[in-house]
């Protein structure tokens, strides 16, 4: 048995494959994580650390895309590459059973690119929503200062609300608009142009047009939205963490029945660019938002680690948006890919922040 365990830890996916056939007698992959990357809350970073993160993001915006020439004309930079891969897979990686795992690797690949391609020496910071839920514009993330990720947009009065779904009676479900709506008016990302999209949510049903890869430079939009921000406060975070099944946890994060969930409301709290279901990684806040999602997933897992990470309460859903009844349920063997950003991994490979090549913790 000792020999078996040793050989299994070399290949994470094999560990989990064999374990499944052993049912309850699971041996978790042994961690070789000695000095984890420590991911911190953005407000707790020093001015120097905040500026280092911002410069690393700008560095990725200045590095050329790695797509083969002509494949994604709208992806001009390494920064854009992340959005392009996300757009391409949007209807596989959301509101289903691979959402958490796919985005865990996505954030890890981003953090790794900052470190390896841009000399960043920190770890991925996260946006702890409840800290600023009552007043987003006063947060160190979005106050518009030169250590923020940019503030609100210029006021655009041409609309009143956002449609977030359809109610059972057929009428539109809406949320009020925020205080900006136009191009980001201050901070380090003030003049940033984003190159892909925008995309309407309804493309989820019709599919992306063939020209989704087109170059369409437009400004980064923000519309700081207190209504949605409030729905990411401690009450909602506690409710998500108090769920006892992975299905309920996933629903508390994102489902339509929880009125966007804390995940969806975080996207809507910032405005149009982060709201774009397909192209949201073009707002630099995306990776801090998903750092927080990943942190909550890990906090939830730790309440019953074995069952919620490698056991029977770890996975629920399919690899298709809205989990249609015809789609197969995910297992630890379900594979995912990150296009040109990374390789292929199975869900079993991405279950723990300290196994299978991952090595990070949240402070
Ligand atoms: C989009 O996904 C398909 C299917 O996985 C893949 O073949 C294609 O290369 C991807 N395109 C981009 C631009 O990533
Ligand atoms: C939010 O904070 C800012 C700056 O501290 C302040 O000017 C503003 O009035 C606050 N807004 C609310 C709704 O409390
Ligand atoms: C893609 O094509 C549609 C028409 O089919 C057009 O309305 C849209 O502007 C095009 N998008 C880009 C980015 O070129
Ligand atoms: C969170 O917001 C809800 C309203 O959406 C409110 O009822 C609740 O008291 C708030 N919780 C905290 C901790 O502020
Ligand atoms: C996933 O969760 C739903 C809702 O709780 C449940 O009905 C379903 O049986 C679960 N699927 C699996 C494979 O456990
Ligand atoms: Cu996403």
Q: Is 1.10.1280.10 the CATH number for 2-362?
A: yes
Model pLDDT, residue 173 = 87
The answer, yes or no, to whether any atom of ligand 1 lies below 6 A from the CB of 72, is: yes
Q: Quick: pLDDT tens for 279-312.
A: 999 999 999 999 999 999 999 999 999 999 999 9
The answer, yes or no, to whether any atom of ligand 1 lies below 6 A from the CB of 262, is: no
Q: Ligand 5: which residues within 6 Å by Cβ?
A: 245, 247, 316, 329
Q: State the average pLDDT over residues 161-179.
A: 89
Closest-CA residue, ligand 3 atom 11, reads: 211
CA of 211 to the centre of ligand 3 (A): 6
Model pLDDT, residue 160 = 95
The answer, yes or no, to whether any atom of ligand 3 lies below 6 A from the CB of 206, is: no
Q: Is residue 2 pLDDT above 60, yes or no? A: no
Model pLDDT, residue 313 = 98
Report residue 162 as tokens.
Answer: 């956002």
Q: Quick: pLDDT tens for 313-334.
A: 999 999 999 999 999 999 999 9
Model pLDDT, residue 170 = 85
Cα-Cα-Cα-Cα torsion 352, 257, 201, 178, nearest 10 degrees, comes to: -100
Q: Is residue 12 pLDDT above 90, yes or no? A: no
Domain spans, the chain: 2-362
Cα–Cα distance measured from residue 349 to residue 363, given in angstroms and rounded to the nearest whole number? 23
Q: What ligand 3 atom has the least distance to the C-alpha of 211?
A: 1
Residue 38, beta-bridge partner list: 361
Cα separations in angstroms, 335 against 49, 102, 294, 331? 36, 10, 19, 9
The answer, yes or no, to whether any atom of ligand 1 lies below 6 A from the CB of 84, is: yes
CA of 100 to the centre of ligand 6 (A): 9
Q: Cα angle at 253 between 250 and 258, to 5 degrees? A: 100
CA of 148 to the centre of ligand 1 (A): 33
Residue 194, beta-bridge partner list: 218
Q: Which ligand is nearest to the CA of 232?
A: 4
Q: Mean pLDDT of all residues in the chain? A: 92
Q: Which ligand is nearest to the CA of 86?
A: 6
Task: Using most ligand atoms within 8 A of CB, pick from 136, 138, 141, 152 the residue to mutate for ligand 2.
Answer: 138
Task: Please give the share of the chain, as a percent, with pLDDT higher than 70.
Answer: 91
CA of 143 to the centre of ligand 5 (A): 42
Model pLDDT, residue 258 = 55
Closest-CA residue, ligand 4 atom 8, reads: 235
Q: Quick: pLDDT tens for 39-87.
A: 999 999 999 999 999 999 999 999 999 999 999 999 999 999 999 999 9
Q: Ligand 4: which residues within 6 Å by Cβ?
A: 230-231, 233-235
The answer, yes or no, to whether any atom of ligand 2 lies below 6 A from the CB of 135, is: yes
The gap between the terminal CA atoms of the chain, to the nearest Å, is: 36
The model's pTM is 0.93
Model pLDDT, residue 97 = 97
**Contact indicator for 41, 363 with CB cutoff of 8 Å:** yes
Using CB atoms within 10 Å of the CB of residue 231, give its burial: 0 to 12 exposed, 13 to 18 middle, 19+ buried.
buried
DSSP annotation of 329 reads B
Tokens 């690899």 locate to: 319
Model pLDDT, residue 18 = 53
Model pLDDT, residue 28 = 64
Q: State the average pLDDT over residues 126-141.
A: 97
Q: Is residue 245 pLDDT above 60, yes or no? A: yes
Cα–Cα distance measured from residue 181 to residue 152, given in angstroms and rounded to the nearest whole number? 8
Residue 345, beta-bridge partner list: 336
Q: Quick: pLDDT tens for 177-234.
A: 999 999 999 999 998 999 999 999 999 999 999 999 999 999 999 999 999 999 999 9
**Contact indicator for 221, 184 with CB cutoff of 8 Å:** yes
Task: Please give the share of the chain, as a percent, with pLDDT higher than 90.
Answer: 85
Residue 192, beta-bridge partner list: none
Q: Which residues contact 116 (CB under 8 A, 6 or more apart)?
A: none
Q: Which of 68, 73, 78, 361 is nearest to 211 (CA)?
A: 73
Q: Quick: pLDDT tens for 251-266.
A: 999 975 657 899 999 9
Find the range with the poorest average confidence among 5-9, 170-174, 313-317: 5-9
For the chain, what's the residue count? 363
């Amino acid at each position: 048995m000792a020999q078996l365990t040793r050989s299994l830890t070399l290949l994470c996916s094999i560990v989990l494959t064999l374990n499944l056939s052993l049912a309850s007698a699971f041996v978790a992959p042994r961690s070789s994580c000695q000095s984890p990357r420590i991911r911190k809350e953005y407000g707790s970073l020093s001015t120097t650390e905040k500026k280092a993160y911002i410069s690393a993001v700008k560095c990725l915006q200045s590095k050329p895309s790695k797509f083969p020439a002509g494949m994604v004309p709208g992806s001009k930079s390494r920064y854009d590459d992340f959005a392009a891969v996300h757009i391409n897979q949007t209807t596989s990686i959301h509101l289903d059973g691979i959402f958490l795992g796919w985005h865990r690797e996505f954030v890890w690949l981003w953090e790794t690119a900052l470190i390896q391609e841009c000399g960043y020496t920190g770890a991925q910071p996260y946006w702890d929503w409840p800290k600023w839920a009552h007043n987003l514009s006063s947060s160190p993330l979005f106050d518009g200062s030169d250590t923020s990720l940019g503030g609100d947009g210029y006021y655009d009065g041409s609309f009143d609300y956002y449609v977030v779904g359809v109610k059972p009676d057929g009428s539109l479900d809406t949320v009020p608009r925020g205080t900006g709506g136009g191009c980001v008016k201050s901070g380090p990302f003030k003049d940033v142009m984003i190159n892909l999209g925008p995309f309407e949510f309804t493309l989820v049903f019709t599919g992306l047009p063939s020209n989704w890869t087109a170059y369409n430079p437009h400004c980064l939009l923000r519309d700081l939205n207190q209504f949605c921000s409030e729905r990411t406060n401690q009450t909602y975070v506690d409710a998500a963490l108090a769920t006892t099944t992975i299905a309920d946890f996933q629903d508390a994060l994102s489902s339509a029945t929880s009125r966007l969930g804390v995940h969806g409301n975080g996207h809507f709290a910032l405005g149009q660019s982060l709201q774009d279901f397909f192209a949201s990684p073009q707002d630099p806040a995306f990776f801090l938002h998903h750092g927080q999602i990943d942190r909550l997933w890990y906090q939830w897992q730790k309440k019953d680690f074995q069952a919620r990470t490698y056991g029977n309460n770890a996975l629920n859903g399919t690899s298709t948006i809205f989990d249609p009844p015809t789609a197969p349920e995910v297992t630890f063997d379900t594979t995912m890919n990150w296009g040109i950003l990374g390789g292929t991994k199975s869900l079993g490979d991405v279950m723990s922040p300290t196994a299978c090549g991952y090595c990070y913790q949240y402070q």
